[in-house]
Structure 1
Amino acid sequence: PSYLHIFMAGSISGMAQALVLAPVDLVKVRLQNQTHPYGRGLASPRASQPRYRGPVHCSASILREEGITGLFRGGMALMLRDVPTMAVYFVTYTALCRGLSQERCEPGSATVLMAGGCAGTASWVLATPMDVVKARLQMDGVKKVEYAGVLDCVLTSLRREGPRVFLKGLSLNSLRAFPVNAVTFLSYENLLKLLC
């Protein structure tokens, strides 16, 4: 397939992924950002209880307090993150495999590992700024509604914390992305050979 076809397929897969991922990712972010002292130094046992008791309770609470649209809070930011990111992810992987392999030859394991790792890292470099925005929008429902939407979140975050705010988590995401995606693509390519 041409790079344009790969780019389009990656973009569409990013859109499909974002639609399915939005509610699950919201619950994950809310649970991860739940802060409570676990009863240390507090007189009242009630004060040490977390807001959400688990994923099902978190989902039910969001539905009850924010409605069905609450489950998709931050969904537009997720879409803006995943559509271009998945396109770049697959184009980078394909371009590196083609560039590092002899013409008309299947890429070897080392090539697949390198291309997969680089593709994962490149995609997270692109994704991290919108990932920051997405997480802030998702946490907005826990506190008070602070942002009027994606653009407002971007501008408010930029005004309050400067441009570096959009790089939060980039080093960790990149460090994780290389080995995870190298193994992902190596597994994918080897399973494809076994099954075909």
Structure 2
Amino acid sequence: MAPARKEKPIHSLFAGATAGAIEAFITYPTEFVKTRSQFGGKKEGPITIIRDTLRTKGVAGLYSGCMALVVGNSLKAGVRFVTYDSLKHKLADKEGKVTPARSLIAGLGAGMMEAIFAVTPSETIKTKLIDDSKRPNPQYRGLIHGTASIVRREGISGIYRGLFPVMMRQGANSAVRFTTYATLKQFVQGTMRPGQQLPTAVTFGIGGIAGLVTVYTTMPLDVIKTRMQSLEARSQYRNSFHCAYRIFTEEGILRFWTGTTPRLARLVMSGGIVFTIYEAMIKAIGGREDEQ
């Protein structure tokens, strides 16, 4: 029996960070539309947001806050894959296989780590920049100026606004995404000849399905996260639970799935792009070694 293959941590970090940065830039307009649609006030559809943004800000308007997400997504994906690969191999059996339940635990751990070290700061800054960009006279001139202004006015806690919902969302995101991906990958590999590599199209398809499942199961947490990181959050919500209560009682349960279409577009593409680039990078740099 062939020995199980293990990802080298430094290579997992590099491959994950590269995949995350590329994916964030390619899919950013869908993230912009999703975030804008989740703010309170008048409900706007994706087409309306795109049309109004292009008319008033041009194509560049769809990339407001982009660098915050690219940097954060790169770090996030690096942390995610290193943590997940490490936990996955600790929880694997002698043949290197991981049960769905253990993959869920590894994904949950990866999501918690990325939320603390990468996602919360970058998402808070990105959300505030997008919220600010819709004002007639935006106060932030870009990533660096915006970050400095937020920290100066609100302190470090200002960029960690919404940490709890982000940890819940990222934990759920990674748990669902990695479990779906790993389960489908093991199933498909079980139908192939020993040593045969998964075709790129199949990897992309499995990653896309993982993104689809992730969207619908974690959307309420994403809406709460966006509201908690908006410019008006401090004056409207005492905490994440108060935010969820107000959305439910004042706007209805369906509001928790606002922004599903653009997020679905992004995460389906994201799942395909990230896993495809990650697997290609790992293969190219010889990032897997035999278990000892």
Under a length normalisation based on structure 2, what TM-score does the superposition of the two structures give?
A: 0.59
Specify the alignment match of 1:126 in structure 2. Answer: 217
- Give the CA deviation at 1:13: 1.3
Specify the alignment match of 1:145 in structure 2. Answer: 235
Counterpart code for 1:58: G
Q: How many residues align?
A: 184
1:17 maps to 2:114? yes
Contact 2:140/2:146, CA 8 A, preserved across alignment: yes
Helix, strand or coil at the partner of 1:145: helix
Helix, strand or coil at the partner of 2:237: coil
Alpha-carbon distance between aligned partners in 1 of 2:168 and 2:233, rounded to the nearest angstrom: 23
Contact 1:98/1:107, CA 8 A, preserved across alignment: no
- Give the CA deviation at 1:143: 6.1
Specify the alignment match of 1:72 in structure 2. Answer: 160
Helix, strand or coil at the partner of 2:235: coil
Structure 2: gaps spanning 5 or more residues:
1-91, 93-97, 287-292
Structure 1: gaps spanning 5 or more residues:
38-48
Specify the alignment match of 1:195 in structure 2. Answer: 285
Alpha-carbon distance between aligned partners in 2 of 1:147 and 1:16, rounded to the nearest angstrom: 25
2:244 to 154, 168, 193: 154
Alpha-carbon distance between aligned partners in 2 of 1:183 and 1:61, rounded to the nearest angstrom: 33
Specify the alignment match of 1:81 in structure 2. Answer: 169
What is the percent sequence identity of the aligned residues? Answer: 29
Helix, strand or coil at the partner of 1:77: helix
Task: Please list every run of at least 4 consecutive aligned residues from structure 1 whose deviation after the TM superposition is greater than 6 angstroms.
Answer: none
Q: Within 5 A, what are the aligned runs for 1:1-196?
A: 1=92, 2-3=98-99, 4-19=101-116, 20-34=118-132, 35-37=134-136, 49-101=137-189, 102=191, 104=194, 105-139=196-230, 141-142=231-232, 144-196=234-286
- Give the CA deviation at 1:144: 5.0
Alpha-carbon distance between aligned partners in 1 of 2:234 and 2:281, rounded to the nearest angstrom: 47
Under a length normalisation based on structure 1, what TM-score does the superposition of the two structures give?
A: 0.85
Q: CA RMSD in A?
A: 1.9
Alpha-carbon distance between aligned partners in 2 of 1:31 and 1:165, rounded to the nearest angstrom: 22
Alpha-carbon distance between aligned partners in 2 of 1:150 and 1:115, rounded to the nearest angstrom: 33
Contact 2:227/2:233, CA 8 A, preserved across alignment: no
Higher relative contact order (CA 8 A, sep 6+): 2
Shift of the 64–188 alpha-carbon distance from structure 1 to 2, 3 Å rule, reads closer
